[in-house]
Chain A
């Protein structure tokens, strides 16, 4: 029996904008076990990042607001913690790495100082110890001459190296959960592969759980145990990684998988794409948010929003009124 580390229930986050309230996350529930890797996929603006930021209360408030829900980390609700309590979780037990390594490091602070910051804060160690630990960490993520490079500034590092530094910083206090928010999106493919390999290696060495947010279904297939697909602020399908690729049950997931270029595809065939645009979430969707773009759409889809329910194999859950294999309503 594995232990549940993170359990998020009914999370709802909204943003107040001049154009109206944006319902970014509309009741998301998921959980994460010790040592597990959860992939979160979906288009831009479907609420992936906001969900994770909400869990750590990192959504800028205002304009953001967490309206409802709980995020239990080892049984304690992070959303009811005060600032001091949640700061002890951030970086120490749950840490994050972000999309763009070029902008995620402070340009006027040397790498050494930035790395020492969380170490001295959470572990209460001295400057000298923090320095030694930083060197170890940089070596762990494969940065050569780590001791010399501590005094360098971010602009003296390449993009891939900066992402390594970010990973080293995120792992510096031995967190139990690493949230990686599209950590490879801003990097070119060869560097992407290196970063994925690095994270896999470190996961084995350190045994942390990972939440990997991405657009890239290929990356998810190689790293995740379980995948959640998000759309319009909802999780619309959740399954063990193999089942999701073998038997996708939601029309959106099918669309996403079909949109991948395939190496054995006939020549001169157009790449599939899902019609339309993701919804602007100025109103909380009352019907299925994917209905306007769905190829399988039925009358029922326009009347009620489906909830996430188990179908098919163990652990496979989907929110859809239509059985995609038969094309009929469930």
Chain B
């Protein structure tokens, strides 16, 4: 050995301390180490991968809706009707009136030259296939908007409560408690049926109702996370270096506290769509014939006693709804596992 070893004196001992060999990717840089671990963890369990695949398929269907089911008439969100007869028709029965254009994939895939009702028709000859395909857009639209709005309300109220503390905190959290005691679907039902005469039949009344009664969980979780982050040393250090309190909240506290809320929010999309379908099934919301899964299901109400013959009016939309919610729940379960502190370091 001819190499001279440097004697560790004072400063240089530290300089030699190993810089971690791991390369930091842009994603990790963007998300920060903790959040990066959570995101990568999400793609490691089979259940969550299935969940992501399901969600991905639904996203594709929503985007490609005009190709999968070419729109008939002016409003693509209106389910096309093949006549007005009450009795549902079985899958595969030929399409007589209002026949849509035949898309390029249709013939090679089905071997048919004429449009048939792929999944049958519901009461009033609404095409179930169209209802499901275009209803995917409704599902994402309502789910995402309601979740974003509830998260915003929750984060604003929760962080105000946590940041100011004292009577502000008390007031906001007691209001939250009161809202939490109200039964969700019940209140959403009542509130949206009050709103419907004012706003007319559209997606709005149920969405507003669901936003009004859906923000409490987010407010609670962001409040508790902020309360714990607020006590951390780096917040005191930032204060000691003269940083404004608003900046401390937005740059130091919130980015460290918001991730669990975002996870909860992504889970919420499935629940919102389910709740929305429930309201829609009960006849609240959009005008009859609007492409919406709950609406399609509600066509089955009069035929429940003879579902052995008309099974398709329940099974297809029901299955779609189930798969959609399941996709989000699988992802959510994986998120919960990854966020569980006992799982840390196992990755």
Instruction: Name A residues whose Cβ lies closer than 8 Å to a Cβ of B.
Output: 56, 58, 62, 83, 87-92, 95-96, 98-100, 103-110, 117-118, 121-122, 142-145, 149, 151-153, 155-156, 158, 160-161, 164, 166, 169-170, 190-191, 193-194, 197-198
Contacts and interface: CB of A to CB of B under 8 A. Distances in A.
B17 A160 contact: yes
Given A96-B237, A118-B241, A142 B32 contact: no
B59 interface: no
30 contacts: A58-B236, A62-B166, A87-B244, A88-B242, A96-B237, A96-B240, A98-B233, A98-B236, A98-B237, A99-B233, A103-B233, A104-B234, A104-B236, A107-B34, A108-B32, A108-B256, A109-B255, A118-B241, A121-B242, A142-B11, A142-B14, A143-B15, A144-B15, A153-B33, A156-B20, A158-B14, A160-B17, A194-B13, A197-B10, A198-B11
A278 to B, nearest CB: 23
B33 A155 contact: yes
Given A103-B232, A194-B13, A197-B11, A108 B34 contact: yes
A109 B252 contact: yes
B165 to A, nearest CB: 8
Nearest to B14: A160
A66 B134 CA distance: 64
Nearest to B256: A108
Interface of B: 8, 10-11, 13-15, 17, 19-20, 24, 29, 32-35, 165-166, 232-234, 236-245, 251-252, 255-256
A252 B33 CA distance: 46
B238 A106 contact: yes
Contacts of A118: 241-243
Contacts, number: 108
Contacts of B34: 107-108
Contacts of A62: 165-166
> Chain B: interface secondary structure?
helix
Nearest to B235: A106
B306 to A, nearest CB: 58
Contacts of B240: 56, 58, 90-91, 95-96, 98
A104 B242 contact: no
Contacts of B239: 58, 90
B242 A108 contact: no
A158 B10 contact: no
Contacts of B252: 106, 109
A194 B243 CA distance: 29
A105 B234 contact: yes
A152 B24 CA distance: 9
A90 B242 contact: yes
B255 A108 contact: yes
B233 A100 contact: yes
A36 B24 CA distance: 43
Nearest to A145: B19
Contacts of B256: 106-108
A65 B10 CA distance: 42
B32 A107 contact: yes
Contacts of B232: 103
A110 B166 CA distance: 33
B14 A91 contact: no
A104 B233 contact: yes
